[in-house]
Amino acid sequence: MFLWDLDPEGIVDVVARAGLEEIEFWVETPWYWEGGRREDQAREIKRVIGELRMTLHAPVMDLNPASYNDLVCQATIAESLRAIDLAEFLGAEVVTIHPGRRTAKRPARDAERHKIHKYLVACLDRAEEAGIVLALENLEPAPWNICAEPEEMAQFLAELPLGMTLDISHATPPLSRAMAFIDALNDRILNVHVSTTRKGIRHLPPSDGSVDLVLAALRDAGYGGPLTLELDDKKFPKTLSKDDKVGVLRRERLYLESVWADLR
């Protein structure tokens, strides 16, 4: 949500000034989502952002493929299919989707896993038609969250032709969980959301060095896909201006480049 408040021109301006070469377009960006998700908006996104290497994040707000409410499950499928269609139009390489959770704050059951399987099959059918690759993101650890642990993620990926989006902040702490995802599924990781967790606060800048070992493990495993900085501007001690955001992203880019270079 770091560039949440910007339109495509503003997003690309920040990305270019920060020296970044890739972008993950989040479908729920207000300019697009609240603006009606019109065809002319999709064309504008493609015109402005289309020159960058792009991934796309499917919508997640108020959605849950494992919901207790079947209407929510149906809405989640419909919105994800629409996101896949948008990704095809934009030329995005990968679409990240969330696995969902039990609605009640109780341990997830096979009932929820069955709903998620149905959701994934529907998404995969549309993605295959569109020539899009899907990547299932690990959620933060909680008894009701699906695919928060490497073992469960591996089970879903063994059954279905999916990739994975590794969210480092969701997987940590401890670092060992993120390392276990890499050890078990390094050949299925297609996208990485890079940020850190400190004192229970997620999606903070990684330049404090706290996830360097995870980055090293990815590099050693031969990962060559996108490193997507996923930062939450509301977790910063002050409100960030557009120029502030350029500075933060430039600093984090330079840091990641230095860490990656040290691993060569």
**pLDDT confidence of residue 197:** 96
Beta strands in the chain (DSSP E): 22-26, 53-57, 94-97, 133-137, 163-167, 189-194, 196-198, 201-204, 227-229
For tokens 């089970």, the residue is: 155
* N- to C-terminal Cα separation, the chain: 31
CA 159, CA 264: separation in Å to the nearest integer? 34
Nearest partner of 252 among 208, 191, 217, 197, judged by Cα: 208
H/E stretch holding 22: strand 22-26
Per-residue model confidence (pLDDT) at position 51: 87
pLDDT at 263: 53
Specify the 3-state DSSP secondary structure of 96. strand
Distance CA 228, CA 25 (A): 11
Is residue 148 within 8 Å of 154, Cβ to Cβ? no
pTM listed for this prediction: 0.96
The packing angle between helices 242-262 and 8-17, to 10°, is: 50
In degrees rounded to 5, what are phi and psi of residue 83? -65, -40
Strand 189-194 relative to strand 163-167, pairing: parallel
Assigned token pair, 128: 């295959």
Per-position pLDDT tens, the chain of length 264: 899 999 999 999 999 999 999 999 999 999 999 999 999 999 999 999 988 999 999 999 999 999 999 999 999 999 999 999 999 999 998 999 999 999 999 999 999 999 999 999 999 999 999 999 999 999 999 999 999 999 999 999 999 999 999 999 999 999 999 999 999 999 999 999 999 999 999 999 999 999 999 999 999 999 999 999 999 999 999 999 999 999 999 999 999 999 887 654
Q: What is the CA radius of gyration of the chain?
A: 18
Residue pair 44/8 in contact by the 8 Å Cβ criterion: yes
102 burial (CB, 10 Å; 0-12 / 13-18 / 19+) is buried
CA–CA distance, 123 with 38 (Å, rounded to integer): 22
Q: What pLDDT was estimated at residue 52?
A: 92
Domains, the chain, ranges and CATH?
Answer: 8-262 (3.20.20.150)
